[in-house]
Amino acid sequence: MWDGSPLSRPPLTAHAQSSIVLTCPPLVSRNRKVTPVPKSGMKNAPPELREKSPEDPLMKTDNELKHDVERALEWDPSIDARNIAVTAKDGVAVLTGRLPSYADKWTAERIAKRVAGVTALANEIEVKLKDDRDDADIAEAARLALTLDTRIPAD
């Protein structure tokens, strides 16, 4: 009989009409011993295995935060993130680069703000419009539109 403890195995259950046998593995290994690692032994460990700072154990490192923001920007199909660079320091993410519209800039900002661990965001993305027209080009286009409109007199 199974006593329900995580160290004992539950009974095997078999259905008479099928050959499927169901079982649950134990939640904790009986032979596993957990030994704490002394803090002095963590000095030479790679950064990803070192303990987080005791002040905020849930805070991401700068590289983790940068990676998470980059992945979020790449994953979202509404924006082309190839021209966006991300840096991170102490929870502050900085977006730089060039995009073709203000809507893309605001979308990138919205995506980066959703990432867990971003405490502040600096959006330094430049908007480079595809159609850079000066005032003379706009005036010429307006004059041509008025000339071609048959409802407006030629005078």
Give burial (CB, 10 Å; 0-12/13-18/19+) of 136: exposed
Q: What is the dihedral of CA 87, 89, 93, 96, to 10 degrees?
A: -30
Tokens of 152: 């407006």
Helices and strands counted in the chain (H then E)? 3, 5
User: What is the pLDDT at residue 9?
Assistant: 55
Report CA Rg, the chain.
30
Beta-ladder partners of 13 = 22
The H-or-E segment that residue 123 falls in is strand 120-127
Q: pTM to 2 decimals?
A: 0.51
User: What is the pLDDT at residue 14?
Assistant: 47
User: What is the pLDDT at residue 35?
Assistant: 41
- Least Cα distance to 62 among 21, 90, 23 occurs for 90
2-33, pLDDT tens digit by residue? 565 555 555 555 444 444 444 444 444 444 44
45-103, pLDDT tens digit by residue? 555 555 555 455 567 888 999 999 999 999 999 999 999 999 999 889 999 999 999 99
**CA–CA separation, 142 and 57 (whole Å):** 61
User: What is the pLDDT at residue 59?
Assistant: 76
User: What is the pLDDT at residue 131?
Assistant: 76
34-48, pLDDT tens digit by residue? 444 445 555 555 555
